[in-house]
Structure 1
Amino acid sequence: MSSSTSYTLDVPGARLHYDVQGSGPLLMLIGHPMGADGFAPIASVLADDHTIVTYDPRGFGRSTIDDRGQDAEPDLVADDVRRVLDAVGGGPADVFGSSGGAVTGLALAARFPGHVRTLVAHEPPVALLLPDADQARAGVQEIYDAFRAEGIGAAWQKFFAFTGLGMPPQGGDATPQPPTAEMVATSERFFGQGLLPITLYEPDLDALRSGPVHVVPAGGATSKGQFAQRTAAALADRLGTSLIDFPGDHGGFVYHPKDFATTLRGVLA
C-alpha cells in the first residue's frame, strides 16, 4: 500500500489541502461536500497503478475559506481543482467526480478542457436536466427552505426523502450520538452555500459535446430511479452518449472499492 503525502495550496479566498499517493497516470478524485477522506478506500486500490490526487473542497475538511458565506459555485470550485492539477503537474489528467464533485468536474471539463483527458461524472445532481425539472427545482428549494426555517435536522430528513438515499445507520439499540462540531459546520455550509448552486447548475452542454474531454456519465447499478442516478441518465441523454453502470449505489466507491476500481480502470482504458 502506498503512502499519502499531504500538501497545502493558497488560492484566492481559500487554502486548499490535497493528498498525493501512488505512481502512474494522473487521476484526481473529487467530491463535494465530501473531501479526501471519503475516497480513502478506493484511492488506496487505484494507487497501485495511478498517481492519485484527492482534496478537500474550500470550506470543508482541512481546507479553509475566508468567507464562509461564499456560495460553492461549480465554476469557482472547478478553478480550485484546476489549480491543484497545476500544482501536481498540470495534466491532462483523468478525473473521477462523484455527486457534487461530478458537477465540479463538468464545470472543469467545460472551462479548462486542457486539464482533463477523461471525466467520469458519477451521479452529478444536475436537477435542471431532468424532464421534470420544475418539480425537481421545487424539491431542492424545499430542502433549502427547511434548513433556513428549522435547521440541519429537518433539512437532512427532506434531503434523504427527496434523493432516495438511505438514512445513515443508527447502530441498532445504541443511543444516537450528537453530531460533532465539524459535522454541524459541514451540514450548515452544504445546505446554506452548496445545495442550490450545485443542484441548479446548468452544464455547458455545447462545450462538453464539442470539446476534447471524453465525458462519461455514470450511475450506480443499485441506485436506479434515485434522484442522482436519474440526473446522470439525463446528462447522458443530453450528451448523446451511454450511461455507464458502476457497482453499488451513490457511494459505491466506499462500499465496493475493488469492484468499483476495476470498472473505473476499464472506462479510463
Structure 2
Amino acid sequence: MTELHYDVRGHGPVLLIVPGGSGHPMGLGPLVDALAGRFTVVTYDPLGLAHGRLGQPVADQRVEEWSEGAHRVLEETLTEGEPGYVLGMSSGAIAALDLLARHPHRLRHVIAHEPPCVGVLPDGDRQLSVFREVYDTYRAAGLAAAAARLTAGLTGAAPPEVEPGQPRTREQELTDPMALFVVHVLRRFTSHQPDLDALAAAAGRLTLAAGSDSRGQLLHRTAGFVAERTGGGFAEFPGGHLGALQHPVAFAERIAATLPPLDVPGVPQAS
C-alpha cells in the first residue's frame, strides 16, 4: 500500500486540507497557522513532494488515488465515530468532491474551492481543449509560456503569443512541482467527471467556493454550476484562485464561518 504523507498542526476538530497543483503544500504555512488555534489541521501531500520525494519518478495521477489517500489519512487521524472536515483547493478540490461522493459517512463537511472540473459545463469540451493547449505549450515553449496560457484560460483573456522555448529535461521536470502539475495532473483532473448524483445525495455536507476576485472567470462559473446541479452550498472567499496564499488570515476566517459547528442539530454526523 502506498505510503501516506501528511502533517498535523493545532487542536480541535480535524480539518483535512488537500492542496492544489501537484499536491505540494508549499505556501500554505500562513493559512495553517491561522487555522491551528481552532482545528487540528491535517495537510495532505499526495505525492510526498514536501516529504523527500521531490525529484523521484512520478506517474500520471488519478483523482481516485488522491481521494482514497485522503480517506486513509482521515482514518488515521480521526477518532472512532468522529466526522471530518475537508478543504480541497483547485485540483485538490476535485479530489475532495470524489472523497465526498465515495465516503460521505465519514465527512462532516467539505469545502471545494474552485475545482477545475470544467468537463461538467455545457461547453466542457471547449474548455477542456484549453488545458490540453497548456500541456502542448509546455512541451513546445516551456513552463513560463504554459503558465501564461493557463492564466489566460482561467481569466478569459486572449491567449498569449507562444514563442519557442527550451523544454525541460525529465530531471528538471521532476524537481519542479508546477511542471509536475502540468505534465501529470492537469489533463487528468480537469477531464474528471464528478459523480453529481452522489454529491446531490450528500449536498448538506458540501459547499462549493470561489474567490471574489474570480467573478466572471471560468472556475467561479464551474463552482457555481456544480453547486446548482448538486444542491450544495456556494460561498465566495477572499482573493482569487490562489486566495489561500494571497489572504491566508481572511481565508481562514471564511473557512471557520463556512464549516458547520460539530454540535449544530440536524447537520449530518459520521456513522
- What is the TM-score of this pair, normalised by structure 1? 0.82
Query: Tell me, which stretches of 5 or more residues in structure 2 are unaligned?
Result: 158-170, 261-271
Query: Tell me, which stretches of 5 or more residues in structure 1 are unaligned?
Result: 1-10, 167-179
Q: Which amino acid aligns with 1:22?
A: G
Q: Does 1:156 align with 2:113?
A: no
Matches within 5 A, 1:17-56: 17-32=5-20, 33-56=22-45
- Using the TM superposition, name which of 81-90 and 113-122 deviates more: 81-90
More relative contact order in 1 or in 2 (CA 8 Å, sep 6+)?
2
SS at 1:35 equivalent = coil
SS at 1:29 equivalent = strand
Matched residue, 1:131: 122
SS at 1:20 equivalent = strand
Q: Deviations over 1:179-219 (max 9, x none)?
A: x9588532332111101111111000111111376110011
Matches of 2:58 and 2:253 in 1, distance apart?
Answer: 39
Matched-pair identity in %:
35
Matches of 1:22 and 1:242 in 2, distance apart?
Answer: 27
Matched residue, 1:188: 179
Q: Which amino acid aligns with 1:53?
A: V
Aligned counterpart for 1:249 among listed residues 233, 240, 254: 240
The offset of 1:144, in angstroms, is: 1.7
* Bigger fraction of residues in strand: 1
Aligned counterpart for 1:74 among listed residues 63, 70, 76: 63
Contact 1:124 1:228 in 2 (8 A): yes
Matched residue, 2:267: none
Matches within 5 A, 1:88-167: 88-89=77-78, 91-164=82-155
SS at 2:213 equivalent = coil
- Using the TM superposition, name which of 42-51 and 144-153 deviates more: 144-153
- Using the TM superposition, name which of 109-118 and 145-154 deviates more: 145-154
Q: Deviations over 1:14-63 (max 9, x none)?
A: x3321111111111111132433332111111111111111222153326
- What is the TM-score of this pair, normalised by structure 2? 0.81
Matched residue, 2:225: 234
Q: Which amino acid aligns with 1:133?
A: G
Contact 2:203 2:230 in 1 (8 A): no
CA RMSD of aligned residues (A): 2.7
